[in-house]
Amino acid sequence: MEGAASLLDLGAGAGFPGLPLKLARPALAVTLVDAVGKKVGFLKAAIAALGLKEARGLHLRAEGDPEREGIPRAELLIARAFMDLPDWLALAPAYVRPGGRVVAMLGKAQPESELAARASERGLRVVSSRQYRLPFSGAERQVAVFSQA
């Protein structure tokens, strides 16, 4: 996240991780996108209640054409449980500014070799990958960061 001025959270749902990242980095311009109007209504209410500047919720569907959809490109693109990794890596590059990063929050850890192969198929490379366990359930998770190759 270092150096990024803008973040796009696709499939934002209730705002995780986009809203906590905005709270942690107030200067970060955050756009939260979800296809479900009720969820976006919540996001807008949360943004207003928290008094967040340069944060907005958009009721839109991401289908790979940000200009037509009205979704701004960002330096950092993130999603949690939005779609499976191959589909995410196919969709994501359209929404990232040149030199930007794509973050995938994965429910199941994947070997580095598999991440690299999936990234390579889409003209991306793995920048970093980290596995961790959730504190209460102990469930295994992984965060992988990609950039254009």
pLDDT at 1 > cutoff 70: no
Q: CATH no. for residue 108?
A: 3.40.50.150
pLDDT at 81 > cutoff 80: no
Q: Answer whether 30's CB lies under 8 Å from 68's CB.
A: no
- The answer to whether position 111 is within a domain reads yes
pTM above 0.85, yes or no: yes
Average pLDDT over residues 13-20: 95
Average pLDDT over residues 11-39: 96
pLDDT one-digit tens code per residue, 82-104: 788 899 999 999 999 999 999 99
133: Cα separation from own chain's centroid: 20
Domain range for 103 is 6-148
pLDDT category of residue 78 using cuts at 50, 70 and 90? very high
DSSP helix/strand/coil, 117: helix
Total domains in the fold of the chain:
1
- The answer to whether position 1 is within a domain reads no
- The answer to whether position 103 is within a domain reads yes
